[in-house]
Amino acid sequence: MSARRQLSFDDLGTPLMDATLVVVDLETTGTDPSADAITEIGAVKVRAGEVLGEFRTFVDPERPIPAYIASLTGITDASVAGAPPITTVLPMFLDFVGDAALVAHNARFDISFLTAQAARCEIGWPRPAVLDTLALARTVFRRDEVRDHKLSTLAAHVGASITPDHRALSDARATVDVLHAIIERLGPTGTSTLEDLSSAHRRATPVQLRKKHLAASIPSVPGVYQFRDAQDAVLYVGTSRNLRSRVRTYFTASETRRKVLDMLPQAESIRIIECTTPTEAAIRELRIIGAEKPPSNRHGLTPEKALWLRLGSGGDGLRAARLARTEADGSVQIGPLSSRHDVDPLRGLLTDAVLGRGASFERAGGREPLPRAAHHDQLRRAMREDPRAVLDHVASRMRRHVDAGRYEDAEKLRRLALSFLTAARRGARLRAIGDVPLLVAARPSSEPVIGGRGWEILAVRHGRFSGTALVPAQADPVAVARSLALTGTGEAELAAPMCQGYHQEAEILLNWLEGDGVRTVLTEGEWRQPARARFDADHLAERFARTQPGVGA
Output helix, strand, coil percentages for the chain, rounded to the nearest 5.
45, 20, 40
Say yes or no to pLDDT of 492 above 70: no
Task: Find the largest Cα–Cα distance for the chain.
Answer: 92
Say yes or no to pLDDT of 33 above 50: yes
pLDDT > 90 fraction of the chain, expressed in percent and rounded: 57
- Distance, in Å, from the CA atom of 108 to the CA atom of 97, rounded to the nearest integer, reads 18
Contacts of 122 (CB under 8 A, 6+ apart): none
What would the pLDDT profile of 129-147 be if each residue is shown by its tens digit? 899 999 899 888 988 899 9
Contact indicator for 200, 139 with CB cutoff of 8 Å: yes
What would the pLDDT profile of 441-479 be if each residue is shown by its tens digit? 999 886 666 556 788 999 999 999 999 998 887 778 788
What is the separation, in whole angstroms, between the first and last Cα of the chain? Answer: 59
Q: At what angle do helices 503-513 and 278-292 cross, to 10 degrees?
A: 170
Mean pLDDT of 55-78: 93
Mean pLDDT of 320-342: 90
Q: What's residue 449's pLDDT? A: 62
Q: What's residue 364's pLDDT? A: 43
Contact indicator for 464, 494 with CB cutoff of 8 Å: yes
Angstrom CA distances, 515 to 167, 390, 439, 521, 529, stand at: 47, 29, 15, 15, 17
- Distance, in Å, from the CA atom of 298 to the CA atom of 522, rounded to the nearest integer, reads 37
Contact indicator for 111, 22 with CB cutoff of 8 Å: no
Q: Which one is predicted more confidently, 483 or 170?
A: 170
Q: According to the per-residue pLDDT averaged within each range, which of 235-244, 267-276, 303-312 is highest? A: 267-276
Number of C-alpha atoms within 13 angstroms, CB side, residue 424? 30
Q: What's residue 552's pLDDT? A: 56
Say yes or no to pLDDT of 350 above 50: yes
Say yes or no to pLDDT of 55 above 70: yes
Q: According to the per-residue pLDDT averaged within each range, which of 54-58, 69-73, 476-480 is highest? A: 54-58
Say yes or no to pLDDT of 294 above 50: yes
Q: What's residue 9's pLDDT? A: 35
Strand order in the sheet with 101-104: 50-58, 38-47, 20-28, 101-104, 130-132
Q: What's residue 128's pLDDT? A: 87
Which domains, ranges and CATH numbers included, belong to the chain?
A: 9-195 (3.30.420.10), 206-301 (3.40.1440.10), 305-417 (no CATH), 436-524 (no CATH)
User: What confidence tier does 356 reach under pLDDT thresholds 50, 70, 90?
Assistant: confident
